[in-house]
A and B are shown apart, each in its own frame.
Chain A
């Protein structure tokens, strides 16, 4: 355990400061090249640079390379390669409008390095009841895990600071769970994700100076999913991600099909005169987590963000309880 302290500290410092220091020049670069989008929840034409994915992936790769130099584990390679592929997929989607089929198929392909590197164990562990061996089915789980975590994190990136703040809470919960389960190496491999998200949150929080874009959100989601697989904490990871899962679930249950956000005509929320957000009664609009939060009255963007973070902290606590229950057998 003590020999892991130096790699852990060095990788955490590199993860945080790479994003913290590279994001301001990236903002300037994107502004110069006119790579900006309108912030729909601000008065007037407030243009925000996008995507912040390059600084996020830089932080992940730099910190994981350092960890690989110390630990030489295939799991680290799987995290790096899958996250980088997810970044490329997101970057393509940021630059060009791709069809609805593109992200699911491409993310499924991005998951394959985990299989080829053999960085997984096909036993699926559940709290209280133990493990189940599902060698063939587990390969399907690997593919779906990256696809689901990538898209789920992307789908919650709806307001200033939500995606990065949510991922900070979820990934630190996952790291704590890994420490509780005494999987120290994987806990250390997972720590950069929380620190990268935290550093990016500094610029993404309200009022946003940069948006992560698909490249940023898919990178965070894919890295989270990969850690869940290679760290054998699939169920715990799913629990920590539940608020985002609820968002996707409500969306799909109301739309009854997989659809890109830009294809939706109905508006789930609208602005009040004082530019707060309120839920609409548009029957064609999807039901989302934000719409449900606003069902009891209008709220500011900041207030909605804090409510989502409260939900995230609650699911993080449930994830940590789940980790404790992993050691309990009925």
Chain B
């Protein structure tokens, strides 16, 4: 149970950190010089970064899951 509480708390911390990255990096992204296409280009860039962050977040969670639960599940 302590492992599960730890995993839950780790997920929460990752959400807080992820939020910081999204607001400080993703938020300010904007493009100029493409006229009406500016918002599409900047949205696409934001979407690609956001998806990459989600993939990275899942990868980190998988590693943490293996670290916390490996012994437990094997036993």
Spell out A's residues near B (CB within 8 Å): 124, 126-137, 140, 235, 238-239, 242-243, 245-246, 249-250, 253, 279, 287, 289, 291-293, 295-296, 307, 310-311, 314-315, 318, 322, 325
Q: B4 near A132 (CB under 8 angstroms)?
A: no
For chain B residues 31-74, which have a beta carbon within 8 Å of chain A? 39-40, 43, 46-47, 50, 61-62, 65, 69, 72-73
Closest CB in chain B relative to A307 CB, distance in Å:
6
Q: For A137, list chain B residues within 8 Å (CB).
A: 43, 46-47, 50
Q: For B3, list chain A residues within 8 Å (CB).
A: 292
Report, nearest first, the 8 A-B pairs whose CB atoms are least far apart.
A126-B19, A132-B27, A129-B23, A136-B43, A295-B72, A129-B20, A318-B12, A132-B23
Q: B73 near A242 (CB under 8 angstroms)?
A: no
Q: For B16, list chain A residues within 8 Å (CB).
A: 126-128, 322, 325
> What size tier do the contact residues of chain B reach?
20 to 34
Q: B73 near A246 (CB under 8 angstroms)?
A: no
A-B contact pairs, 16 of them (CB 8 A): A132-B27, A134-B26, A135-B43, A136-B40, A137-B46, A235-B15, A246-B11, A249-B61, A249-B65, A250-B65, A295-B75, A296-B1, A296-B75, A315-B8, A318-B12, A322-B12
Q: For A134, list chain B residues within 8 Å (CB).
A: 26, 43, 46, 50
Q: For B23, list chain A residues within 8 Å (CB).
A: 126, 129-132
Q: With A132-B27, A135-B43, A292-B72 in contact, is A243–B8 under 8 Å at CB?
A: yes
CB-nearest residue of chain A to B12: A318
- Which secondary structure characterizes the binding site on chain B? helix
Q: For B8, list chain A residues within 8 Å (CB).
A: 242-243, 246, 311, 314-315, 318
Q: B24 near A129 (CB under 8 angstroms)?
A: yes
CB-nearest residue of chain B to A279: B73
Spell out B's residues near A (CB within 8 Å): 1, 3-5, 7-9, 11-12, 15-16, 19-20, 22-24, 26-27, 39-40, 43, 46-47, 50, 61-62, 65, 69, 72-73, 75
CB-nearest residue of chain B to A140: B47
Q: With A126-B20, A137-B50, A246-B4 in contact, is A238–B26 under 8 Å at CB?
A: no
Of the candidates A130, A140, A287, which one forms a contact with B73 in the assembled complex, judged by CB atoms under 8 Å apart? A287
Q: B12 near A292 (CB under 8 angstroms)?
A: no
Q: B22 near A132 (CB under 8 angstroms)?
A: yes
Q: B27 near A253 (CB under 8 angstroms)?
A: no
Q: For B47, list chain A residues within 8 Å (CB).
A: 136-137, 140
Q: A239 near B27 (CB under 8 angstroms)?
A: no
Q: For A279, list chain B residues within 8 Å (CB).
A: 73
Closest CB in chain A relative to B20 CB, distance in Å:
5
Closest CB in chain A relative to B73 CB, distance in Å:
6
Closest CB in chain A relative to B10 CB, distance in Å:
10
> In the complex, A136→B22 CA distance in Å?
15
Q: A292 near B20 (CB under 8 angstroms)?
A: no
Q: For A295, list chain B residues within 8 Å (CB).
A: 69, 72-73, 75
Closest CB in chain B relative to A172 CB, distance in Å:
18
Of the listed residues A129, A140, A245, the one surrounded by the most CB atoms of chain B closer than 10 A to its CB is: A129
> In the complex, A246→B39 CA distance in Å?
35
> In the complex, A136→B40 CA distance in Å?
8
> In the complex, A249→B8 CA distance in Å?
12
Q: For A287, list chain B residues within 8 Å (CB).
A: 69, 73
> In the complex, A243→B9 CA distance in Å?
11
